[in-house]
Amino acid sequence: MKTIHPKITEVLTGTFKVPAHEVLPESTMDSLEMDSLAVAEFAVIIKETLGVDADSEKLYKDATLAEISAYVDEAVGSAAAEATVPVSNTR
C-alpha cells in the first residue's frame, strides 16, 4: 500500500475537517466530498506550503490520494534536484 504525503493528510484533516479515518490511499477528492472550489483551495495550500504547482487539473476528482501523493512527492523531489548545485572537478 502506498503512503500518503503527510502534508496532504494534515491539510485535509486540519483545513477541510476530513475525518482522519477517511484519508486513505484509495480515497478521491470526490469521495471525500471535496467540491471544485475546495480542490482549488487545496491546490493553493499545497503550492504555498510545499512549493508544488499542484493545479486543480492534477488533482482532478477521480485521482486517488495515493496518485496525488505520488505527484507531490515527485514534484518535491524534482524541485530539490534542480536546487542542487552540481560539483565539478575542474578548477
Write out pLDDT tens, residues 7-26. 999 999 999 999 999 999 99
pTM: 0.76
Cα–Cα distance list, 54 to 39, 40, 46, 90 (Å): 10, 9, 7, 38
**Residue-wise pLDDT tens digits, 34-58:** 998 998 899 889 889 888 876 666 6
60 contacts 36 by C-beta, under 8 angstroms = no
pLDDT, greater one: 24 or 72: 24
What is the predicted pLDDT for the residue at 1? 41
Confidence of residue 29 (pLDDT cuts 50, 70, 90): very high
